[in-house]
Amino acid sequence: MSGKGTGKPDASGKQPPGKKKVKIRKGKKWVEVEADSEVKKGRFKYVKFVDDDGLDTYWISPE
């Protein structure tokens, strides 16, 4: 199980970097969101942000 970017200091004690603007593809549109962090799951990488519905959302990263 992998998991990164929980928002908490990592083992080295460093704070994660601040929010990063990322473009994601929602349906047919590209939308810019402010990602809190990144999470890697299997082959995929997801960016974390709070979506319009107020839910913590992990969207597949275009990279």
Interface with another protein (CB under 8 A)? 1-3, 6, 39, 41-44, 46, 51, 53, 55-60
Residue 4: CB minimum distance to another protein, A? 9
Q: Which residues contact 10 (CB under 8 A, 6 or more apart)?
A: 16
Which single residue is written with the structure tokens 């929602």? 26
CB of 56 to another protein, least distance (A): 4
Residue with smaller CB distance to another protein, 19 or 60: 60
User: Who's near 12: CB < 8 A, 6+ residues apart?
Assistant: none
53 vs 62: CA distance, rounded Å: 21
Minimum Å gap between C-beta 38 and another protein is 11
